[in-house]
C-alpha cells in the first residue's frame, strides 16, 4: 500500500474502474478483472444493471462497488474517482468503455442534439474521467488506461458522422496519453471492436442517406464477437504481459480492419 493505493503486483489485487459495466463489453470486462482477484468499480448509467454486476461479482467471492450516473457530468466523474480511492484503495486501471451509438447519420443529417450527445458521452466523458484519475496514478508512478474505441475509429465506413468522429477522437486521446505520460509509468492503449453481440440498438432513420451509404461496407465485417472476447483483449492490455505496449489501438474485429 502506497499513499492509500494498492500497488499492482501482476497477480490481481488491483483497483479497477470499468465504465459502461452494467452490460455488454463492460460487464464482461468487470467480471474478467474480478475473476483475477481485482477490486472493481462498476460505473454505469443504469443502476439496476450496475448493481446486478456487483452482486454477481460478490457471489463469486470478489469485491465490487457500483457508482451510477451520467459520466459526461463532472459531479458523477468526481464521485467515481472518489469512490475508487476511498473504498477500493486507489486507481490502478481505468477502462473507459461506456459509449452510445449514433443514428448512422451522414453529416448533413446530423442534428445538433445527436452530435453533442454522442461526442459528450463517447469522447468528453473519457477525457473527464481520465483527467480525474491520472493524479492518483501519477502519485504512485504507475497506472494503466484502456479505452474502447471502435472499428469506426479506424475507418470512415463503420458508423455515422458523430460516432465516427467520437471514436477517432478516442484514438487520438489514447495516443496522446501514451506519449505524454510514458515517462511517468502510465500506459494507455485502446481496443477497436468490430461487430459485437451486445444489447446496443441503433435507431436508424428509414431511407436516410447515411445507413444506405454505409451498409455495403458491412459485408466484410466478419463474425460477431462475444463481449468476453473484447474483455479478454482489455484485460491483456491492462496486464503486466503488455508492459511494453503503449499507444496501441488493437482491432478485435475478425480481420475487418485488414480488409
In a domain, 144, yes or no: yes
With H, G, I as helix, E, B as strand and everything else as coil, classify residue 62. Answer: coil
In a domain, 179, yes or no: yes
Residues 6+ apart with CB under 8 A from 48: 22
In a domain, 5, yes or no: no
CA distances from 93 to 101, 177, 234 (A): 25, 14, 10
Q: Any idea which residues carry the catalytic annotation?
A: 163
In a domain, 131, yes or no: yes
Q: What's the domain range around 71?
A: 15-258
Residue % of the chain over a pLDDT of 90: 89
How do residues 126-179 score in pLDDT, each as one tens digit? 999 999 999 999 999 999 999 999 999 999 999 999 999 999 999 999 999 999
How do residues 72-124 score in pLDDT, each as one tens digit? 999 999 999 999 999 999 999 999 999 999 999 999 999 999 999 999 999 99
Residues 6+ apart with CB under 8 A from 242: 187, 189, 236
CATH number at 28 reads: 3.40.50.720
- How far, in Å, CA of 132 to CA of 155, rounded? 30
In a domain, 6, yes or no: no
- How far, in Å, CA of 45 to CA of 114, rounded? 18
Q: Which three cell numbers stand for residue 3?
A: 499513499
Q: How many domains does the chain have?
A: 1
Q: Answer yes or no: is pLDDT of 1 > 50.
A: no
In a domain, 9, yes or no: no
Q: Structure pTM?
A: 0.93
In a domain, 174, yes or no: yes
Amino acid at each position: 500500500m502506497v499513499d492509500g493505493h494498492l500497488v499492482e503486483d501482476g497477480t490481481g489485487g488491483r483497483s479497477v474502474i470499468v465504465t459502461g459495466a452494467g452490460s455488454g463489453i463492460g460487464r464482461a470486462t468487470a467480471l474478467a478483472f474480478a475473476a483475477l482477484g481485482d477490486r472493481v468499480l462498476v460505473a454505469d448509467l443504469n443502476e439496476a444493471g450496475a448493481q446486478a454486476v456487483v452482486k454477481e461479482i460478490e457471489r463469486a467471492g470478489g469485491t465490487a462497488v457500483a457508482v451510477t450516473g451520467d459520466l459526461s457530468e463532472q459531479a458523477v466523474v468526481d464521485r467515481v474517482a472518489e469512490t475508487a480511492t476511498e473504498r477500493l484503495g486507489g486507481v490502478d486501471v481505468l477502462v473507459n468503455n461506456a459509449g452510445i451509438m449514433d443514428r448512422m447519420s451522414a453529416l448533413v443529417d446530423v442534428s445538433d442534439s445527436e452530435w453533442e450527445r454522442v461526442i459528450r458521452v463517447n469522447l468528453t466523458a473519457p477525457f473527464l474521467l481520465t483527467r480525474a484519475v491520472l493524479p492518483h496514478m501519477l502519485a504512485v508512478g504507475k497506472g494503466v488506461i484502456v479505452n474502447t474505441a471502435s472499428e469506426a475509429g479506424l475507418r470512415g465506413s463503420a458508423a455515422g458522422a458523430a460516432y465516427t468522429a467520437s471514436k477517432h477522437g478516442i484514438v487520438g486521446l489514447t495516443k496522446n496519453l501514451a506519449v505524454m505520460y510514458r515517462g511517468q509509468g502510465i500506459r494507455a492503449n485502446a481496443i477497436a471492436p468490430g461487430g459485437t453481440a451486445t444489447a446496443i440498438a441503433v435507431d436508424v432513420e428509414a431511407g436516410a442517406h447515411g445507413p444506405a451509404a454505409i451498409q455495403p461496407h458491412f459485408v466484410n465485417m466478419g463474425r460477431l464477437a462475444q463481449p468476453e472476447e473484447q474483455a479478454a483483449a482489455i484485460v491483456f492490455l491492462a496486464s503486466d504481459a503488455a508492459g511494453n505496449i503503449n499507444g496501441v489501438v488493437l482491432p478485435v474485429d475478425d480481420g475487418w480492419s485488414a480488409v
